[in-house]
Every structure is written in C-alpha cells, then in structure tokens.
C-alpha cells in the first residue's frame, strides 16, 4: 500500500487509517483503491478479530476530493458502485466487528464510512455532516439507508437537506454513535474497546453481526427461525463448549474461532 491508507496491526486488532491529512482525508482515486485493499485484508486475515477505522490529522474524512476534478454522472455512478461499494460492503459483511473512531468530523462519503461500521466512538467536539443538497447532490455510499435506519425518516431527511453540523452529543442521542469521549482519548478508547471484543467468541460475534444486519428485512417469525439456524451452528462449535466450560470452572474462556 501507499501512504493514502495505513494498515497496522497490534495483536488481533487491525487499525485502518485514512491518511491524507493535508486534504482532510478526502477521497481520491488512490484512497478508494487502497481502502478497498485494506478492508479486504482485514476481512480475510483470520488472525484479526476486530478492526478500527479512523482518520489521520484533524478529521475522519471530508468526503470526496472535489479538487480532483469533476466527472460525468456516468463516471460518478461507476465510481460509487465499483470503487466505494467494495470497501463499504466489506465493512458491513466481514465476520469481525468494525469500530469507527470519529475524530474532527465526517462528511459526505466519509459520513457513510463512519456510519457503516458496527460500532462508533466519537470525539466530544467532533460532528457529522451531510452536505450534498448544498451542491445539488443526494447522500450516497448507502448513507440514506444508514441514516434512516438509525434515526428514522424525519430526522434523517432533515439532516440530509438542511446540511447542518450534527454535534457529537446529538449524534449520541440519536443513536448514530455508541459513545463520545474526550478528543485526545479517542484512539485509546477505540483500542480498548476493540481489545475487549477480541476476548469474545469470534463465531458468536460474526453470527450476531449477520443477524443484526439482516434483521430489519425479516418478519419477527422469520428472525426467530434465522436465529435458530445460526444458534445450532454456534452450539455445536468448540467455542461454545469452551465458553460453557470456562463459565462452570469460573475462569476466562480461551476462544479459537472454531
């Protein structure tokens, strides 16, 4: 990889950092390609059990780099489907939890990356912004789905069309992020959270994530059936046996992901 995206590991935790701080981590051609490579690497590495996504410097991401030059609508559609979509879907569908550590602000397509993660921690002075209608565009990267699912149609539509900054405290109230912390404690908090998650059973985390992602599309009865099918697989796993044994023996479990 080049320097547009950094991929670092510490034990079972991978940290992916958007790294164009002089451009507020705005997305250009290189960053799109490199981020897709990084998320694929995290997805495929069985030694990695949790992932952190963040931005270098003053912010998480300002969105697409408009200074890179205007493209045709056809090219924009292609870029969204072929260059942004792979990494966004990787985050949503990989077996391991992904935590967004939101520093400064996340705007535009950067907002989509901040919200597609499974969990989010935000600096107390950070904000989220959907600026699209101010430049004649609509929210993209799945952010219409993410916003509406998280805070309902009215709040999501208001945020999308008014283009106001949504401060961290309000993001927490609306359920867009799980936690807010002091700005200078953001990465420490994200790291501690990711490390705690690596102590949980990997198969249980993966299958819980799968169910949570698909649950809104299921009826209640169908959700019960889908849970039952995955629960069967979990119950027959070595990790479940280890977890129950450790509980009865009053010790910490040693999960292997099998």
* Residue 1, pLDDT above cutoff 60: no
What are the two backbone dihedrals, phi and then psi, of residue 141, each rounded to the nearest 5 degrees? 65, 25
First and final C-alpha spacing in the chain: 31
Q: CA 217, CA 12: separation in Å to the nearest integer?
A: 32
Q: CA 158, CA 171: separation in Å to the nearest integer?
A: 14
- Mean pLDDT, range 7-29, rounded to an integer: 96
Percentage above 70 pLDDT, the chain:
99
On average, the pLDDT of the chain sits at 94
* Residue 219, pLDDT above cutoff 80: yes
Q: CA 114, CA 142: separation in Å to the nearest integer?
A: 11
- Mean pLDDT, range 195-210, rounded to an integer: 95
Same domain, 96 and 218: no
Same domain, 142 and 73: yes
Is residue 12 assigned to a domain? Answer: yes
| Residue 66: pLDDT band with limits 50, 70, 90 | confident
Picking from 114, 125, 122, the residue whose alpha carbon sits closest to that of residue 88 is 114
Same domain, 216 and 192: no
Same domain, 103 and 211: no
pLDDT in tens, 104-123: 999 999 999 999 999 999 99
Predicted pLDDT of residue 203: 94
Q: Which tokens hold the place of 71?
A: 């493209």
Same domain, 157 and 227: no
Is residue 258 assigned to a domain? Answer: no
Same domain, 211 and 173: no
Same domain, 228 and 105: no
Q: Report how many domains make up the chain.
A: 2
Same domain, 206 and 140: no
């Amino acid at each position: 990889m080049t320097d547009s995206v950094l991929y670092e590991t510490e034990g079972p935790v991978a940290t992916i950092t958007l790294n164009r701080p002089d451009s507020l981590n705005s997305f250009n051609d290189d960053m799109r390609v490199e981020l897709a490579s990084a998320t694929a690497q995290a997805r495929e590495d069985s030694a990695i059990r949790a992932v952190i996504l963040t931005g270098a410097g003053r912010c998480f991401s300002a969105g697409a780099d408009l200074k890179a030059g205007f493209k045709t609508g056809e090219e924009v559609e292609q870029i969204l489907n072929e260059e942004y979509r792979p990494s966004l879907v990787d985050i949503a569908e990989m077996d391991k939890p992904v935590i967004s550590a939101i520093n400064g602000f996340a705007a535009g397509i950067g907002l989509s990356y901040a919200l597609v993660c499974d969990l989010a921690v935000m600096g107390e002075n950070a904000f989220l912004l959907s600026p699209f209608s101010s430049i004649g565009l609509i929210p993209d990267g799945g952010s219409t789905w993410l916003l509406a699912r998280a805070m309902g149609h009215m709040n999501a539509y208001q945020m999308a069309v008014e283009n106001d900054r949504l401060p961290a405290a309000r993001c927490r109230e609306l359920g867009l992020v799980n936690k807010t912390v002091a700005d200078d404690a953001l990465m420490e908090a994200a790291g501690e959270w990711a490390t705690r998650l690596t102590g949980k059973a990997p198969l249980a985390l993966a299958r819980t994530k799968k169910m949570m992602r698909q649950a809104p599309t299921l009826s209640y009865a169908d959700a019960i059936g889908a849970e039952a099918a995955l629960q069967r697989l979990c119950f027959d796993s070595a990790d479940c046996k280890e977890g129950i044994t450790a509980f009865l023996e009053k010790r910490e479990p040693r999960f292997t992901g099998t």
